[in-house]
Amino acid sequence: QSALTQPASVSGSPGQSITVSCTGTSSDVGAYNYVSWYRVRPGNAPELMIHEVSNRPSGVSDRFSGSKSANTASLTISGLQAADEADYYCSSYTDTNTLVFGTGTQVTVL
Amino acid sequence: EVQLVQSGAEVKKPGESLKISCKASGYGFPFYWIAWVRQVPGKGLEWMGVISPEDSSTRYNPSFEGHVSISVDNSITTAYLQWSSLQASDTAVYYCARLLVIFRYTSVYWRFLDSWGQGTLVTVSS
């Protein structure tokens, strides 16, 4: 069961928009809309940012948005802020009744 | 408010056993699955396994099956992750999380992890 592929790092200046990609296969990301995104700040537990491709939990800023095309999901952060610096992980349900996480992306605000 | 509160950090020797806990509150415990997730220092998140508190059915990541055991005690709304023989490579932070699922016909689909415990650091060293 291979991890979903994410870029190791993405950076942007305050106020800019960045996009983090998450590439899987037709057995996971491409097969279901059960793709979610989690933010992990140093020393903190993961936080759910996006669920089921594009849904934001209450309390999550509308600067965070998600989408999917074929086997690749994406997380976009608009109006980048210093507080957005963290590691971001995608996750997907798979056709073998398992869960797989992405490799993780470090987001840096320049 | 949904809360998952995990037991404290542990330091163990290789070969020792360990059971860490995840106390849930603020929701109907039997009706939401619990997942365990590992994060080795400096590495990414790895799904270890899930349990349905309603019937104690479990499903494990093949990478962890046979090495860990997941259980629940509904009477105290607590889930557990257990090792019978720890290895140095088990050194990591372990998170429990509430897993939302959906049933469609005869299948169950895992939607997302909506609430997480604070994590338990397990250090295994001789």
**Closest to B109 (Cβ–Cβ): which among A40, A47, A93?**
A93
Q: How far apart are CA B114 and CA B32, in angstroms?
A: 11
Closest CA to B17 of B72, B84, B62: B84
Task: Residue B43: give its domain's CATH number.
Answer: 2.60.40.10
In a domain, A2, yes or no: no
Residue A83 Cα, gap to closest chain B Cα (Å)? 20
The confidence band for A71, taking pLDDT boundaries of 50, 70 and 90, is very high
Percent of chain B with pLDDT over 70: 100
Note whether B119 contacts A45, CB cutoff 8 Å.
Answer: yes
Using a CB-CB cut-off of 8 Å, the residues of chain B touching A104 are 44-45
Question: Does A1 score more than 90 pLDDT?
Answer: no
**B93-113 burial code (b ≥16 CB/10 A, e <16):** bbbbbbbbbeeeeeebebbbb
In a domain, A71, yes or no: yes
| B42 has a chain A CB within 8 A of its CB | no
pLDDT per residue as tens digits for the range B12-31: 999 999 999 999 999 999 99
In a domain, A4, yes or no: no
Q: Which domain holds residue A49?
A: 9-109
Q: Which domain holds residue B94?
A: 3-124
In a domain, A23, yes or no: yes
Question: How many domains does one find in chain A?
Answer: 1
Task: Residue A83: give its domain's CATH number.
Answer: 2.60.40.10
